[in-house]
């Protein structure tokens, strides 16, 4: 049983990051039975990126250079699959016409203006939020704590929309949707709440709450425009939820 758990965790790292741990259909199946591991892997991602941010904060002491390097490292570690999902979601959202046309625009491999705008807003938002957090500086470890809470919150948001959404077509997204029920949602939420409270207390819980709310907003938008969700929508949720969580942390710094 422990072996299966570790196999699922390793597959999750391979699925959610670019770390070459190896991934297979058997691994994805094992992960599907334990999708509540998403926030756990989010904590690992946040720890790695947050530690880098803390190092850059200490060495560079620049609120302008450090955020760029943190964002670059984030997408180097996690890949751009979820950012690509955000772009597809944006294209489908701005497309005119029936649901079928909107879904077609979302699945089109070409990048449209909607996708460009959505991605630019998210990346600029990340730059602003991380810049404010890094600017807090002076030996504080806020960037480390904030990145852990943000990544955990983003992965819990993916669980949330998967648990409450319905699939619009077959694919990796539909596998996650089918495998995520209220049990997986509840286990993930309990872990996420514990971690967010441990690293940033009430602010951490606000970050988690904002990310969870974001997942429901994305779900409502997706249902209205596409009649359900897909892997692209789940990926978009990750990006939007992370941004909102970090904006909460930035707002706390500025208050």
pLDDT at 252 over 70: yes
Average pLDDT over every residue of 53-73: 83
pTM of the entire predicted model: 0.93
pLDDT of residue 137: 58
In the chain, the percentage of residues whose pLDDT exceeds 90 is 59
At residue 122, φ and ψ (nearest 5 deg) are -65, -45
Average pLDDT over every residue of 90-95: 91
Distances (CA, A) of 113 to 27, 75, 87, 117: 36, 21, 9, 6
Residues 158-199 pLDDT 10s = 999 999 999 887 776 677 788 888 999 999 999 999 999 999
Average pLDDT over every residue of 132-149: 82
Contacts of 9-16 with C-beta under 8 Å, sequence gap 24+, read: 9/34, 9/37, 9/40, 9/41, 12/37, 12/38, 12/40, 12/41, 13/41, 13/44, 16/41, 16/42, 16/45, 16/78, 16/155
Domain extents in the chain: 34-254
CB 17 within 8 Å of CB 49:
no
What six digits make up the tokens of 160? 């949330």
Q: For the purposes of burial, counting CB atoms within 10 Å of the CB of 146, is it exposed (0-12), middle (13-18) or buried (19 or more)?
A: buried
What six digits make up the tokens of 8? 């699922």
Q: Where is pLDDT greater, at 169 or 47?
A: 47
* Dihedral over Cα of 138, 140, 143, 146: its sign: negative
CB 131 within 8 Å of CB 247:
no
pLDDT of residue 22: 76
Contacts of 100-109 with C-beta under 8 Å, sequence gap 24+, read: 102/225, 102/226, 103/168, 103/169, 103/226, 103/227, 106/226, 106/230, 106/232, 107/232
What six digits make up the tokens of 210? 């904002």
Contacts of residue 39, defined as CB under 8 A and 6 or more positions apart, other chains included, come to: 152, 155, 156, 159, 188, 191, 192, 195
pLDDT of residue 140: 64
Which residue has tokens 């309990």?
190
**Of the candidates 214, 243, 207, 239, the residue with the CA atom closest to the CA atom of residue 89:** 239
Q: How many residues does the chain have?
A: 255
In a 13 Å sphere around the CA of 117, the CA atoms on its Cβ side amount to 9
Q: Where is pLDDT greater, at 166 or 61?
A: 166
User: Across all residues in the chain, what is the average pLDDT?
Assistant: 89
105 — pLDDT class (breaks 50, 70, 90): confident
61 — pLDDT class (breaks 50, 70, 90): low
pLDDT of residue 254: 82
CB 249 within 8 Å of CB 129:
yes
38 — pLDDT class (breaks 50, 70, 90): very high
């Amino acid at each position: 049983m422990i072996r299966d758990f570790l196999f699922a965790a390793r597959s999750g790292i391979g699925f959610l990051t670019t770390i070459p741990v190896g991934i297979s259909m058997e691994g994805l199946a094992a992960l599907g039975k334990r999708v509540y591991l998403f926030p756990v892997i989010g904590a690992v991602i946040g720890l790695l990126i947050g530690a880098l941010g803390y190092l850059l904060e200490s060495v560079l002491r620049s609120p302008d250079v450090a955020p760029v390097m943190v964002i670059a490292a984030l997408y180097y570690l996690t890949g751009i699959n979820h950012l690509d999902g955000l772009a597809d979601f944006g294209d489908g959202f701005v497309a005119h016409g029936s649901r079928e046309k909107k879904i077609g625009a979302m699945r089109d491999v070409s990048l449209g203006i909607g996708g460009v705008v959505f991605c630019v807003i998210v990346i600029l938002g990340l730059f602003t939020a991380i810049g404010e957090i890094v600017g807090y500086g002076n030996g504080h470890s806020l960037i480390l704590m904030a990145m852990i809470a943000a990544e955990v919150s983003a992965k819990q948001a993916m669980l949330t929309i998967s648990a409450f959404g319905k699939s619009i077509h077959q694919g990796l997204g539909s596998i996650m949707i089918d495998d995520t029920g209220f049990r997986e949602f509840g286990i993930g939420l309990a872990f996420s709440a514990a971690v967010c409270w441990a690293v940033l207390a009430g602010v951490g819980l606000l970050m988690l709450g904002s990310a969870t709310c974001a997942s429901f907003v994305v779900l409502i938008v997706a249902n209205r425009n596409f009649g359900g969700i897909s892997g692209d929508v789940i990926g978009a949720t990750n990006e939007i939820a992370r941004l909102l969580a970090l904006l909460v942390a930035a707002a706390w710094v500025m208050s």
